[in-house]
Amino acid sequence: IVKLGWATTFVTPNLQQKLDAYRAGGIPVSFGGTLFEAFVVRNQFEDYRKLLDKYDLKYAEVSDGSLEMDSDQKCEYIRILAQQVTVLSEVGSKDEAKIIPPYKWIKLMKEELEAGAWKVIGEAREGGTVGLFRASGEVRQGLVEEILTQIPSEKIIWEAPQKEQQVWFVKLLGANVNVGNIAPHEIIPLETIRLGLRGDTFS
């Protein structure tokens, strides 16, 4: 799935042609969760739904990484959107000072899946230095392992923009692990990691 990150949708030239090109290639597209948040914070949720229809999107991301949102309210947004599109919901904060304990990650993921999310996304931002990771980019291994005791791995997309993070998840969960926030120029290198054609996963 191609994600047009945060609110780049509103400043990307030739957006419709871009979406048409992906559609012609059979590649689903979603707008980033921050765009959803930008509409919600302005009390324009219905306008956001119209935007999805306008561009005939089949996927949408629901997140609360940039604003404070009650979990019940977030689940209600998921329930409504799930009747319109396939929903990806993101758990975790973009604020590196905000450390969410493992039990709360699990609780939120469970609630959002029950509300109708197709998959839940573990937040890391495009830098890979928050949420699932420490500021150094190191995986919060205990957090990931605890989440996996309660949430099926196939229901989770782990944001893993850094090569070392991708390698770690492939080694832990196998070649077909769901990873996200992969920059376009990293797609081919990631595929070689998945296939064991790079030194990191050669064996």
Cβ atoms of 63 and 90 closer than 8 Å:
yes
Tell me the pLDDT band of 97, cut-offs 50, 70 and 90. confident
pLDDT for residue 6:
86
pLDDT for residue 98:
80
On average, the pLDDT of the chain sits at 95
Q: What is the pLDDT of residues 28-81, one digit of tens each?
A: 999 999 999 999 999 999 999 999 999 999 999 999 988 889 999 999 999 999
SS3 123: coil
pLDDT for residue 181:
95
pLDDT for residue 137:
93
Q: Which residues pair with 139 in a beta bridge?
A: 133
List Cα–Cα distances, 85 to 39, 49, 58, 78, in angstroms. 17, 10, 5, 10
- The pLDDT > 90 percentage for the chain reads 88
Rounded to 5°, the CA angle 147-150-152 comes to 90
Cβ atoms of 126 and 157 closer than 8 Å:
no
Average the pLDDT over each of 35-44, 95-104, 142-151 and give the range with the smallest value.
95-104
- The pLDDT > 70 percentage for the chain reads 100
The span from the CA of 57 to the CA of 84, in Å, is 9
Cβ atoms of 167 and 196 closer than 8 Å:
no
Average pLDDT of span 157-171: 97
Q: What is the pLDDT of residues 111-126, one digit of tens each?
A: 999 999 999 999 988 8
| Other beta carbons less than 10 A from residue 35's beta carbon | 22
pLDDT for residue 127:
87
